[in-house]
Structure 1
Amino acid sequence: MNLEGVLVPVVTPFDTEGKVDYSALGKLLDHLIEAGVRGIVACGTTGEYYTFVGEERRTVMAYIADRVGDKALLIAGVNDTYTAGSVAKAEEAKALGYQALMLAPPIYCLPQETEIIQHYKTVSAEAEMPIIMYNFPARSGVEISVEAVIELSADKNIVGIKESSGDFSRALSLINAGMKDFEVICGSDDQAADYLFWGVRSWIGGAANYLPAEHVQLIECAKDGDFNRVREIMQRILPVIKNQESADYNQKAKLGCAHTGFPVGAVRAPLLPISSEDEAGFIAALKLAIG
């Protein structure tokens, strides 16, 4: 599967009553596609999927699939606390027309390496869909070892890994492992230029919700071999990306959308709005990024 380009883990807009704001979601999706993103990731962490209740998840996923159609690659986040839960979510995504899955190890239970490997192999066998592994030990509590990634890359359905560990030495080990028909995807936004320099051409980043054109430009400049331009763009947007990654990631993703013309409401509890001081710092960095 070709995963080249910017894949956006889209935020979920909420209205003043805390309900999903589908009108705002539609406008944001249209904007992202017009900016040239390659794909949309539904129900990623940036989309606050963990707050969905009842039929919200299915309704949000169905809306995204219908709105996006064949204009971008449709990827469904299918994280759960247990393997059968991820399988069920994968089957739902497949029925709704999604083309790929993004999957982290089960959270909280801290599976061992053999259990992580079996988790992915089971979802692969049951869902029969392309899977992007998601390595973010700060959230899941465990790391998918380099050795496990190499083993799993031999599975015909496991097509890549979003690498969000922040350890670029580890990323280099993956990039240079020579895995066939398998893509290492930038998942550490502040290291995007480093990934691009080493040949990576796929990026899943939450800041693309409010800086989609800049993300696309970075990929295109790297494809053209214009690394002077890559450096120029990255220098401009790096302060706001680092600010977002320092704390309150989801809150700032939504602030970024609002301040670039796409209001998407607040986050849901347990997350809370950030302080006026932190908001001012983020917006100042954002203004430098967008000129």
Structure 2
Amino acid sequence: MSLSGVIPPVCTPMTPEYDVDTASLVRLVDHLIDGGVDALFVLGSSSEVAYLTDAQRRTVLDTVAGHVGGQVPVLAGVIDMTTPRVLEHARVAAEAGASGLVATAPFYTRTHPDEIRTHFRTIAQRAGLPVYAYDLPVSVHTKLSAGLVLELAAEGVLAGLKDSSGDDGGLRAVVMGREAPFSVLTGSEVTVDSALWMGADGVVPGLGNVDPQGYAELYRCASQGDWEAARAEQERLVRLFEIVHVGGGRMGGSSSGLGAFKAALHLRGVIDCPITALPQIPLNEDEVARIGKLLAAAGLL
């Protein structure tokens, strides 16, 4: 399954009691599809997958896949520490109707490249769905080399790559080295035009929750070869991306970014509550007000 275009990692709205807010989640899905996205990625980093219980993961999958009803592909993150745990998530995702799976290398354990190969090969053999590798060394502490990704792509083990490594040289090596159909997706919100220009197929932008139309427009301009317009839209989104920094050094970078996405969605009337999962520190009123100003400057309020 070759994917391209804009594939946002869908945020997980929560109630004040820290349950999944399914009504808000459905509105968010409609907001994204109406915004022109090409697929959805649930249970990724921007979905707060690391904070969700297995039951909450299942609720997210059932809600999104059931509501989408095949309008667009739904990728399911099956992110966990080791292969047996990932396989269990893959089974649940398949039952829920996911179109494909997104998996990182194993983590917490200290792995060897041969073990990472076995990890992805086993998932592909047993899950029965296309597998997309998620290169996220900041969280996994293992960098997926271009050579390893291309080897697994040539074997048919991987259907694509979500590259959130920040390694533009590695991304280019994958783009240049692929031979069979293989989706190369950048996870960077702020260098999408550059990635598309070098041959990437699409983007998985957390900020796409807030402004899906902006990323759809950026992709449209790039697809038509209008690189000046693509750059202009990218620069507008770069300025909007400043929302992720309003938490400053008062909280973790994840808390600041995820809190900003949810605060922006709340201000835009998409979700009912901007709360993030424990133990993340919430944004304060002044920080939310700054996000509101950045949204207004981007033409979103």
With the shorter chain as reference, the TM-score category is over 0.9
Q: Distance in 1 between matches of 2:70 and 2:105?
A: 29
**Quick one: distance in 1 between partners of 2:54 and 2:211?**
32
Answering whether residue 163 of structure 2 is matched by residue 163 of structure 1, we say yes
Name the residue aligned to 2:280: 271
Query: What is the deviation of 1:158?
Result: 1.0
Q: Distance in 2 between matches of 1:202 and 1:90?
A: 24
Alignment partner for residue 257 of structure 1, among 255, 265, 269? 265
Indicate conservation of the 8 Å contact 2:153/2:182, yes or no.
yes
The 3-state SS of whatever aligns with 1:9 is: coil
Q: Secondary structure at the match of 1:238?
A: helix
Deviations 1:66-97 (A, max 9, x none): 00111111110001111011111111111111
| SS state at 1:111 partner | coil
Alpha-carbon contact 1:75-1:98 (below 8 Å) kept: yes
Matched position secondary structure for 2:270: coil
| One-letter amino acid matched to 1:72 | V
Contact 1:190 1:242 survives alignment (8 Å)? no
After superposing the two structures, state which structure 1 stretch, 221-230 or 150-159, moved more.
Answer: 150-159
Contact residue 190 and residue 237 of structure 2 kept, 8 A: no
Question: One-letter code of the match for 1:213?
Answer: Q
Aligned to 1:214, the other structure's residue is in SS state: helix
Deviation at 1:199, TM superposition (A): 2.4
How many equivalent residue pairs?
291
Q: Which residue of 1 aligns with 2:141?
A: 141
- Partners of 1:176 and 1:283 lie apart in 2 by 41
TM-superposition CA deviations, 1:130-187 (whole Å, max 9, x none): 1110001001111111111111112324111111111212211121113321121011
CA distance in structure 2 between the partners assigned to 1:157 and 1:273 by the alignment: 40
Query: CA offset at residue 277 of structure 1?
Result: 4.6
CA displacement 1:10-30 (0-9 Å, x = unmatched): 111111222211111111111
The runs of 4+ residues in structure 1 deviating greater than 6 Å are: none
2:159 counterpart SS class:
strand
Matches of 1:94 and 1:199 in 2, distance apart? Answer: 30
For residues 175 and 243 of structure 2, the distance between their equivalents in structure 1, rounded to whole angstroms, comes to 27
Q: How does 1:21-60 map to 2 (within 5 A)?
A: 21-53=21-53, 55-60=55-60
Q: Secondary structure at the match of 2:203?
A: strand
Residue identity in the other structure for 2:261: A
Task: Report the more deviating stretch, 97-106 or 252-261.
Answer: 252-261
1:18/1:178 CA distance change after superposition, 3 Å: closer
Q: Which amino acid aligns with 1:274?
A: L
Extract unaligned runs of 5+ from structure 1: none
Match of 2:150 in 1: 150
Who is 2:64 aligned against?
64
Instruction: Tell me the equivalent position of 2:86.
Output: 86
- Matched residues in 2 for 1:23 and 1:152: separation? 39
* Cα 1:77/1:264, change in 2 over 3 Å: farther
Task: Write the mapping of 1:72-221 to structure 2, written as runs, cut at 5 A.
Answer: 72-221=72-221
In the TM superposition, residue 242 of structure 1 has moved relative to its aligned partner by: 4.8
- Partners of 1:125 and 1:143 lie apart in 2 by 23
Structure 2 CA distance for aligned equivalents of residues 51 and 124 of structure 1: 25
Given residue 271 of structure 1, which amino acid in structure 2 is its aligned partner?
Q
- 1:142 partner SS: coil
Q: Classify 1:112/1:278 alpha carbon distance in 2 versus 1 (closer, same or farther; 3 Å).
A: farther
Return the TM-score normalized by structure 2: 0.91
Deviation at 1:275, TM superposition (A): 4.0
Q: What SS does the corresponding residue of 1:8 show, helix, strand or coil?
A: coil
Equivalent AA in structure 2 for residue 25 of structure 1? L
**Partner amino acid for 1:284?**
K
Which residue in the other structure is 1:13 paired with? 13
d(CA) in 1 for partners of 2:286 and 2:40?
A: 32
| Structure 2: stretches of 5+ with no match in the other structure | none
Larger CA deviation: 192-201 vs 204-213: 192-201
Instruction: Report the CA distance between 1:286 and its aligned residue.
Output: 2.8
CA RMSD after TM alignment: 1.7
Query: Hey, what does 1:288 align to over in structure 2?
Result: 297
For residues 250-288 of structure 1, what are the alpha-carbon distances to aligned partners after superposition, in whole Å with 9 as ceiling and x for unaligned? 111111211222125210111111244544444333322
Checking the alignment, whether the CA contact within 8 Å between 1:7 and 1:203 is kept in structure 2 is: yes
Matched AA of 1:118: T
Asked whether the equivalents of residues 186 and 192 of structure 1 are also in contact (C-alpha less than 8 Å), the reply is yes
* CA distance in structure 2 between the aligned counterparts of 1:182 and 1:40, rounded to whole angstroms: 18
The one-letter amino acid of 2:42's match is: A
TM norm structure 1: 0.94
